[in-house]
Structure formats: structure tokens, C-alpha cells
Structure 1
Amino acid sequence: MSRKPASGAVVTGIDFDRWAVILCKPDAVDRGLVDVVLDRIEGAGVSVRARTDLVAEPWQAHVAYRDMLSNPGRFPADLPTRIDNAYAGQRVTVALAHGGPDIHARLRRLIGHTDPTKAVVGTIRGDLGNDSVAAATGGGRLVRNLVHTSDDPASARRDFGTWYGPGRTLKVSDFDRCSVILCKPDAVERGLVDAVLERIAATGATVANRQEITVQSWQAHVHYWDLLVDRDWFPDRDIPACLDETYAGRNVAVAMAYGEPGLHTQLRDLLGHFDPTLAAPGTIRGDLGDDSLTAALTEKRLVRNLVHTSDDADAARRDFGTWYGAGRRDLLIAELPTQNTPADAWPHLET
């Protein structure tokens, strides 16, 4: 099995400048308003097709709300629970909307404000909504606002892969100089976290803000959203189940690596090939890895390859919000040690 292409390459043949995904949420389904919502969208001169009714899986809701989940400083601490309560096992309807290059902006104006009480007359939420942000906040739940449409072409690509499945045809100044290091469960269980961080520090990067945490399911889903969206590249494995088995409820260690522009590429080269048997000597996976893609495929699981570092500045931003919480931006500008410190002296976050 060859390495998967960059995320997004699987979804071909669709011009997402002109296509958007419509998600009729569980409250629209429960209130019998799906036909009304889709008729309103078609009445605005937008072509609606490929309607599909389905039961939402937890990972789909996690990926759909990944920007909120990876920015917990702005949202309630129990946001993952609220999302699960609203979506997991609930019926939703999705459809595709086709129009001109302004399709995304047109649809967002048509559906109206997030809070139905603030949505103007003539919008879907303004005319059909029966909830409010105030009521939702008081009830410890998500606001029921009937419908979502893709924000822009990039969101449409992600929404399409999330709700329809890939293969169907029809960017950060602070983070240029820092990367999130994720020492995976196998590194923790084999006692290799210190060794991994020492290897990274030896490159000249400053390693700090180490933290041990127990992984929540949503964190694994947000972190590996591309595997979930492009999961048809892995027909031999149930990717959502593999992620939950590998990560949920298990311990990982995270740390920050600080350096100069180019840090992301430097660290990815240091890690080596994702299959430890193909990683070169001198790389972390090549020297410390004890698993193989062949074994993982045979056992229908994810390969155990010890460590992840952020691919680029955008990934570092997402990784930071996922594993530390976006509210900890002080870690991005904190004073750093003047030299790398040994593993037993790396500062740990207070918990």
C-alpha cells in the first residue's frame, strides 16, 4: 500500500468554487422542515441535488466542528459533549448546492444569523427558527438553527468528504517558528518519550511545555480529520474504529518545539517515513520503531510509529488548539530557555 496523497487529492472532478454542501441538522429533520429548507434554497435560484438521509456518526460531527473543538478557549469546556448529544446517532439530511462562484456567500446570507432570534425576516433561520443562543446556553447544549452550508470552497471540500465520503464524482506568523510534538501511545507505553524529545532537542530546537494527557475521542478525530475524510484510501481498515482504539482514553505526551522558519520540514525529516521499516537509520522511527505497515494491515489497525510533529504552520495552529487549547497562546510567546535543557528538566504544565 502506497502513502496516501495530500489531503484533498482524493476529491476530484468537483469545482468547489461552485458547489456547496447543505446540512439539514437534526432539529430540521425532527421538525419535518427538510423539504421546506431545500425548497427555500432552490427558490433562491440554486440547484439542489444528491439529497441523502443518514445517521450522523460521532467522528462526522467532530470533523464538522473541528475549528470550534480545536479552539476551546472561545467555547464551553463541555463542547465535545454538546456536539455528541446533538449529533451522534441522530438523523440528518445532506444535499449539494450548485451555483455561481458566489454560491457560498449567497447561501450563508440566505440561512441567516447563527442565533435564530437575530436572523432577519426572509432568511431560513429568521422565518423558521424556534430557538435562541440564550436558551441553548442556559440548557448546556448547541443552538438548534436548522441548517448549515459550506463557508467557502475549502470548507465545501471538507464538508463533502465528511458527509458524502471521498471519491464521489460529481495560512500564520507565530506558527512558522513552532511545532507541536505528539508522542503517541506506543511511545508512552514503551517509555520512549524522553528519548524522542532528546532527539528533537539535539537538532537545536528548544523543547518545552511538556504535558501528559489522556486523549479524548474528539481530539483524535480532529487531529486525524484528513484520514477520516479521505478514508476510502484505506479500504482495509475501519479508520474511525482504529482511531478510537489507538487513542481514546490512552495516554500521550505533547510538547512544543521552538526554532526558526523551516522547523516543520526539519522535524518531519527527523521523524522519518511513517512505516518504521522504511525509515532511514538516524531518524527517530528508523532507530526506535518496532512496528511495520505490513503488520498493521494484517491486524487491521494503525501503524505504531511513535511520534507526530506538525506538517506546516497551518497544521501547527490546529495541533496547538487540539492538544493544548487555543487559550494557551501564552505558550507561543513565552520566554524560552537560552539553551536546550535535559529531559528531566523540561517544564511541565500545571494541571
Structure 2
Amino acid sequence: MPYPKEETTLILFKPDCVRKNLSGAVLKRFLDEGFRIRGIKMMQLTEEVLREHYAHIIDLVIDGKPLFPKLSTFMTSSPVVALALSGPGVIVRVRELLGPTNSQKADKGTIRGDFGTDSMMNICHASDSPESADAELHRFFKEGELFTCCMD
């Protein structure tokens, strides 16, 4: 069976990951899978970036309350770490390592199952398709911030 195609994905280490000082432990799990870092930086997100990033759920209402204001408050509560990772089939593989979005439904041994709290405080965001990875990488990394110098 041929190896999956080489891809690059975006992962955001959310404020709960950063505040709990779990960034190193989570990064190690990804690197232990053989993925390569193409870019990494800490940044403070703005509401403007979040509106673009979460445009697909901006009008979502849960239990009679709009989700975005709570999500925006959480995502701007501390800096996040933006990570661009490359590897064969990295998009699917990263999402498998993370586990389901709702940490309460994630198995132990997955990143969210081990460290997450719920659907919002779930340690990381990860791109869910090649198309979203491309858009998200351009959203969080400027021209010249992604590198291929260390790739085999």
C-alpha cells in the first residue's frame, strides 16, 4: 500500500493548553509520530481573525445562546501556539491523535481524552481537510513563515 500523500496541516494550541503548560507535551506527541515542524509561533488572536476562522459557526446558537461570543472570549483569554506540521496523511493522523472534538467523549490515550475538558476547552484545533488546512495556514502564517529546509 502506498504511503499517504505528504501534507501540511494547521494546529492551534488553545488557551487551555497554553495555560496548563501542556504545549511541550502535546508537541512531543506529534513529533513522536514522525511529523515535521514547518512553522511554529505564539500569538494573541484578535476577534477579527476569529470571525474569519469561525465564519462557518459564527451564527450558531446552543441552548438559546450564541456560541461565538463565548468562543471568542475563550480564544482571546491567552496567547495560542500556531503550529504547521507536515507528514504523510498528517491531516487525518493528527485528528486521530487528538480524538473527538468533545473531550468528554475522547478515549484516554488521545490528546483530548488525556488533557481536555469539554468541546471548547479541548486543547487543540486542527484542520479537517486539505482545503481548510490551506486556508488556515494562510490565515495564521505570513509569507516566509513556513519552511521546508529541514524536510527530507
Find out whether 1:192 has 2:19 as its counterpart. Answer: no
Partner of 2:139: 322
Q: 1:286 to 1:216 in 2, by over 3 A?
A: same
Q: Which structure has more RCO (C-alpha within 8 Å, separation ≥ 6)? A: 2
Offset of 1:207 from its aligned partner? 2.4
SS of the residue aligned with 1:281? coil
Distance 2:118 2:12 in 1: 19
Offset of 1:200 from its aligned partner? 0.9
Partner of 1:335: 149
Find out whether 1:305 has 2:125 as its counterpart. Answer: no
Q: Does the aligned pair in 2 maintain the 1:216–1:249 contact within 8 Å?
A: no
Find out whether 1:279 has 2:109 as its counterpart. Answer: no
Q: 1:278 to 1:272 in 2, by over 3 A?
A: same
Q: Does the aligned pair in 2 maintain the 1:208–1:257 contact within 8 Å?
A: yes
Find out whether 1:264 has 2:91 as its counterpart. Answer: yes
Distance 1:276 1:235 in 2: 19
Offset of 1:337 from its aligned partner? 5.0
SS of the residue aligned with 1:182? strand
Partner of 2:52: 222
Code of the residue aligned with 1:207 in structure 2: it is I
Q: Does the aligned pair in 1 maintain the 2:13–2:81 contact within 8 Å?
A: yes
After superposition, what is the alpha-carbon deviation per residue over 1:197-223, rounded to whole angstroms, capped at 9, x for unaligned?
A: 111111111124210001111111111
In structure 1, which of residues 235, 238, 241 is the aligned counterpart of residue 66 of structure 2? Answer: 238
After superposition, what is the alpha-carbon deviation per residue over 1:81-133, rounded to whole angstroms, capped at 9, x for unaligned?
A: xxxxxxxxxxxxxxxxxxxxxxxxxxxxxxxxxxxxxxxxxxxxxxxxxxxxx
CA RMSD across the alignment: 2.0
Q: Does the aligned pair in 2 maintain the 1:197–1:207 contact within 8 Å?
A: no
SS of the residue aligned with 2:40? strand
Q: Does the aligned pair in 2 maintain the 1:176–1:312 contact within 8 Å?
A: no
Code of the residue aligned with 1:336 in structure 2: it is C
SS of the residue aligned with 1:321? helix
Find out whether 1:292 has 2:136 as its counterpart. Answer: no
Task: Compare the two structures and name the one with the higher helix fraction.
Answer: 1
After superposition, what is the alpha-carbon deviation per residue over 1:299-324, rounded to whole angstroms, capped at 9, x for unaligned?
A: xxxx2000011111111111112111
Offset of 1:235 from its aligned partner? 4.2
TM-score normalised per structure 1:
0.40
Higher gyration radius (CA): 1
SS of the residue aligned with 2:58? helix
Q: 1:283 to 1:264 in 2, by over 3 A?
A: same
Task: Compare the two structures and name the one with the higher strand fraction.
Answer: 2
Distance 2:64 2:31 in 1: 37
Partner of 1:45: none
Offset of 1:176 from its aligned partner? 5.9
Distance 1:225 1:176 in 2: 28
Offset of 1:243 from its aligned partner? 2.5
In structure 2, stretches of 5+ residues that fail to align are none
TM-score normalised per structure 2:
0.87
